[in-house]
Amino acid sequence: MRLLSVNIVLSTAKRLKKEGWNFDWDKSFGAISQKIAYLENDEIQGLVEFEEVPSSLYNIIYRIELSPGNIGKNKKIDNIAGTLFAYVAKDSLDAGFEGFVVFDSKTILIKHYVDNYGAQVLFGNRLFFDTKASKALINKYLKGEDNG
């Protein structure tokens, strides 16, 4: 497993769409957002787009997606989402935001994010990781990993 900052070109985005990915990854939501890919055998298994928001002292996740083969009970690789969340949480700590990360969730996934990753509901479908949750994610998913 490797985590890598990527710039998704149109041809790659079209290939992902053809493979069943939901999001259009050649577009960006944030003006200075980063896209991080979870790679296994040089294949993209998951992607997250996030941005540091220094004025509010948190990172915001615009979207996170796993490859179609890594969703549900028959997934090929476990822990992709947790690893991507942990990366964003670590970036928040490194930026001096105390690990705070906010993101919006599909309603059906709110309980999953709370139960499995330690997210808390801020309001509606807006969730967040606080310092404690972020450190737990980092300890669980990034300790001892080669992420370069």
- Whole-model pTM: value is 0.94
pLDDT classification of 74: cutoffs 50, 70, 90: confident
Beta-sheet strand order (sheet of 126-129): 2-6, 34-40, 43-53, 58-66, 101-104, 126-129, 120-123
pLDDT classification of 1: cutoffs 50, 70, 90: confident
Per residue in 26-35, pLDDT (tens digit) is: 999 988 999 9
Per residue in 95-117, pLDDT (tens digit) is: 999 999 999 999 999 999 999 99
HEC string of 41-60? CCEEEEEEEEEEECCCCEEE
pLDDT for the residue numbered 73: 83
Listed by start position, the domains of the chain span 2-141
Please, how many CA atoms are within 13 Å of residue 133, restricted to the half-sphere of its CB? Answer: 19
Q: 2-141 in CATH: which number?
A: 3.40.630.30
SS3 (DSSP) at 131? helix
Angle at 77 between CA 1 and CA 112, to 5 degrees: 115
Cα–Cα distances in Å, from 14 out to 9, 10, 24, 64, 89? 9, 6, 8, 17, 29
The answer to whether 29 and 42 are in contact (CB under 8 A) is no
Percent of the chain with pLDDT over 90: 84
pLDDT for the residue numbered 147: 45
pLDDT for the residue numbered 145: 55
State the DSSP code for 111: H
pLDDT for the residue numbered 72: 84
| Torsion angle in degrees (nearest 10) through CA of 11, 6, 115, 22 | -10
Taking residue 60's Cβ as centre, other Cβ atoms within 10 Å add up to 22
